[in-house]
Amino acid sequence: MALTKDDIINAVSDMTVMEVVELIEAMEEKFGVSAAAAVVAGPGGGEAAVEEEQTEFDLVLTGAGDKKVNVIKAVREITGLGLKEAKGAVDGAPATIKEAMSKEDAEAAKTKLEEAGASVELK
């Protein structure tokens, strides 16, 4: 179950000042940012703000290439789709094959599809 902003605010409002300070320090360490820098940069801090590294990628099939059967097999392996659904995705290129993948998984899937003859990009 995902927490809402209100859930988080209510949880923080029940904390002591020391617990809030520890929470801020833990968040700074976890995300590699500084609360002081965020306050100075302000909302939409522009170029001065630290740019976040992308952690989730969408695998987009841009073309099936000459070996369509191999590409369909690769799509089935990556997504777990049935034959009909995988063929539909390949025939409907450009199409998003899988969303919110880790960088490692996305790179591996991209390599697998390219080896099968497909054109792929990560977004």
Q: What is the pLDDT of residues 74-99, one digit of tens each?
A: 889 988 888 888 888 888 878 888 88
What six digits make up the tokens of 6? 């209100």
Domains and CATH numbers, the chain: 57-122 (3.30.1390.10)
Where b means 16+ CB within 10 Å and e means fewer, 98-119 reads: beebeeeebeebbebbeebbbe
Q: Is the pLDDT of residue 116 over 70?
A: yes
pLDDT score at 1: 64
Q: Tell me the whole-structure pTM to 2 decimals.
A: 0.55
pLDDT at 104: 87
- How many CB atoms are closer than 10 A to CB 35? 11
For 25-76, how does the pLDDT look when each residue is reduced to its tens digit (9 = 90+)? 888 888 888 766 555 555 555 554 455 677 788 888 888 888 889 988 988 9
